[in-house]
Amino acid sequence: MESSYSIDASANLIRLKVWGELTAESLMELLNQARADPEYVPGMHTIADYREAYGNWDYSEIQRFRDYLVHIAVPCEVRWAAIFKPGNLAAAGHVLILISEAVGSDIKLRMFEEPAAALRWVRGEDRPEASMSYEFLNGRVEVRTGDITGLKVDAVVNAANSSLLGGGGVDGAIHRRGGQEILRACQELRETCYPRGLPAGEAVLTTAGNLPARYVIHTVGPVWGRDQQPDTLLASCYKKSIALAANHALGSVAFPAISTGAYGYPKDEAAAIASTAISEALSQADAIERVSLVFFSDADLDVFLANQQF
């Protein structure tokens, strides 16, 4: 039997079935095949079944695969479940090493002995549903952790790239869950209004497709170290998104943390800019009743709370 992969786009999941001798090169080759598949989207979770695999890795192989994991990491948590059978110490041993070595990336690895538990974990069913939230500006602003794609609000803001055609992180999650209707709307915008892409600091409105929200507001944040006047551009993302929502009589808007992932904007500086921009925008947008700032992790939330200027 040869090792193989399958992609379940609806579940945001890659499944790997690994047979025979397992090396760093063979596993990277299998993953590259999956990443080249048209259904692959950056940020997909993975279940790797090693129960029929064997092999011992030397340090160079461990290091090579660790570097590969960090290279393919996207700015959101990706879960990798490794399934092994009791006694399969060779496969289990090197995976345990990878768990300890894959530092600095957002890839989380865990080992399981049966597939059902692995599936529950990659789906995030182990996460507590309750989330602590904080309010500012007399309740007009809510700050919390959570999954922005699951919020039933008038508009969710997408931290898009200039192509408007999807990407990693929040952008990929919104396109995956929202479906092809969002992509078609973005393609139409590219063909009619933005043939060269949406500029940084601008915002546009589309359908939300299959999301619980009514609309998606796409805005492009600045790339830290590349774009000039990044503070002005970042503030513009928040101000123009809120103004756009107000112009369409939308009462509730949810934002992710714009530009602080792959675009590298320092999270402490972004917190001060975002909170100031939101305060200024809301002072001129009475129609907006609620702005939610939704962070992926408690650590990101803590940084924001420590540096916000509401």
pLDDT tens-digit map of 193-230 = 999 999 999 999 999 998 999 999 999 999 999 999 99
Give the pLDDT band of residue 278 (cuts 50, 70, 90). Answer: very high
Burial class (CB in 10 A: 0-12, 13-18, 19+), 109: buried
Homologous superfamily (CATH) for 133-307? Leucine Aminopeptidase, subunit E, domain 1 (3.40.220.10)
Mean pLDDT for the stretch of residues 52-78:
74
Report the side by side order of strands in the sheet with 13-21. Answer: 4-8, 13-21, 45-54, 78-83, 107-112
pLDDT over threshold 50, residue 180 = yes
Report, as an integer, the average pLDDT of 259-281. Answer: 94
- Please, what CATH class does the domain formed by 4-122 belong to? alpha beta
What is the arithmetic mean of pLDDT over 83-91? 64
Per-residue model confidence (pLDDT) at position 92: 56
Position with higher pLDDT, 240 vs 93: 240
What percent of the chain clears pLDDT 70, i.e. is strictly above it? 89
Distance CA 205, CA 240 (A): 11
Q: What is the pLDDT of residue 127?
A: 55
pLDDT at 97: 54
> Which one is predicted more confidently, 103 or 294?
294
Cα angle for residues 209, 210, 211 (degrees, 5° grid):
95
Of all residues in the chain, the percent with pLDDT exceeding 90 is 51
* Weakest-pLDDT range from 19-33, 59-73, 151-165, 190-204: 59-73
- The residue annotated as part of the active site, out of 106, 171, 227, 300, is 171
Q: Does residue 245 or residue 167 have the better pLDDT?
A: 245
Q: What is the pLDDT of residues 119-169, one digit of tens each?
A: 887 877 655 555 578 999 999 999 999 889 889 999 999 999 999 988 777
Nearest alpha-carbon partner for 18 in 8, 10, 28 = 28
pTM: 0.63
Task: Identify the pLDDT of residue 103.
Answer: 45
Mean pLDDT of 105-119: 76
231 is catalytic: no
Domain-wise residue ranges, the chain:
4-122, 133-307
Q: Pick from 112, 113, 36, 51: which is nearest to 79 by CA?
A: 112
